[in-house]
């Protein structure tokens, strides 16, 4: 099955039955299954979805090694089963229904679902050794391939096994978002995207709003703490 985009647009704010577990002027964060939230939004409500869904590789269960120290992920992160299977066809149907444009990390794992695109993003991670040289994101944009270069985040600020750097989301917002965009993230994880949205609003006056979902309470609590500390300190991790 291949998902195709439509041109329908609906910007009417829906009445969501779930209350946000964390709300800021730029963020509505739901502790809920993203399917339950997406189904309540009208067609093409979001200008841009930036998502990092499970790839089905078992990364949450401890597959692979951490960056640089040789320790297994299962020794540093609570083993979880969120990456034991890929998103369902219903997920893709809803994602394409509610969003006008998309950036999908791990798009190379979903080529049987996603339409052909030339607008890929390549994140060059500079890890060396036996680690992957980078990661790919599929986009719905008809534009040239873009490359971003930065190592993965390390140290105490990393609590999610597939945590992406804030700078990567800064890069995405700079190239693919416009002022006033409503943005959707279906798998919030570590919350890096929220710090990037906050930066874009504070420094670039983009007036973005992020709606995000995360089903795992541990990730929710740690992401909220991370965002709160960043705002309290008045600093941003790039």
The overall average pLDDT reported for the chain is 85
Tell me if 211 is assigned to some domain: yes
Tell me if 198 is assigned to some domain: yes
Question: How does pLDDT run across 26-85, given as a tens digit for each residue?
Answer: 999 999 999 999 999 999 999 999 999 998 766 555 555 554 555 555 566 677 666 568
| Residues 6 or more apart in contact with residue 102 via CB below 8 angstroms | 48, 49, 50, 51, 95, 96, 138, 139, 140
How confident is the model at residue 75, as a pLDDT? Answer: 60
How confident is the model at residue 4, as a pLDDT? Answer: 44
Q: Could you give the number of structural domains in the chain?
A: 1
Which range marks the domain in which residue 113 is found? 22-232
Q: What is the CATH number of the domain that holds 80?
A: 3.40.50.150
Q: What token pair was written down for 217?
A: 């309470």
**pTM score, whole prediction:** 0.85
Comparing 84 with 220, the larger pLDDT belongs to 220
The helix-helix angle for 217-233 and 192-204 (nearest 10°) equals: 30
Tell me if 3 is assigned to some domain: no
- In this predicted structure, the answer to whether residue 1 has a pLDDT above a threshold of 70 is no
| Residues 6 or more apart in contact with residue 119 via CB below 8 angstroms | 139, 140, 141, 142, 143, 144, 145, 146
Tell me if 12 is assigned to some domain: no
How confident is the model at residue 238, as a pLDDT? Answer: 39
Tell me if 8 is assigned to some domain: no
Band of pLDDT at residue 93, cut at 50, 70 and 90: very high
Percent over 90 (pLDDT), the chain: 64
Tell me if 48 is assigned to some domain: yes
Tell me if 135 is assigned to some domain: yes
Tell me if 222 is assigned to some domain: yes
How confident is the model at residue 132, as a pLDDT? Answer: 80
Band of pLDDT at residue 14, cut at 50, 70 and 90: confident
Question: How does pLDDT run across 121-176, given as a tens digit for each residue?
Answer: 999 987 766 678 899 999 999 999 999 998 766 555 677 778 899 999 999 999 99
């Amino acid at each position: 099955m291949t998902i195709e985009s439509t041109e329908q647009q609906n910007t009417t704010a829906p009445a969501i039955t779930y209350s946000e577990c964390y709300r800021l002027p730029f963020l509505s964060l739901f502790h809920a299954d993203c399917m339950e939230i997406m189904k309540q939004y009208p067609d093409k409500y979001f200008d841009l979805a930036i998502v990092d869904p499970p790839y089905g590789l078992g990364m949450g269960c401890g597959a692979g090694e951490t960056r640089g120290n040789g320790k297994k992920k299962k020794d540093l992160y609570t083993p979880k089963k969120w990456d034991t299977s890929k998103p369902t066809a219903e997920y893709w149907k809803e994602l394409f229904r509610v969003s006008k444009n998309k950036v999908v990390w791990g798009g190379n794992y979903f080529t049987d679902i996603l339409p052909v695109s030339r607008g890929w993003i390549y994140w060059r991670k500079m890890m060396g050794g036996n680690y992957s040289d980078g990661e790919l994101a599929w986009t719905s944009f008809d534009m040239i391939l873009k490359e971003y270069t930065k190592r993965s985040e390390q140290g105490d600020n990393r609590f999610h096994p597939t945590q992406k750097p804030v700078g990567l989301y800064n890069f995405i917002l700079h190239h693919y978002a416009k002022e006033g965009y409503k943005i959707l993230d279906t798998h919030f994880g570590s919350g890096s995207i929220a710090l990037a949205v906050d930066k874009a609003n504070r420094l670039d006056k983009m007036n973005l709003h992020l709606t995000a979902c995360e089903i795992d309470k541990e990730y929710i609590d740690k992401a909220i703490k991370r965002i709160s500390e960043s705002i309290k300190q008045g600093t941003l991790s790039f």
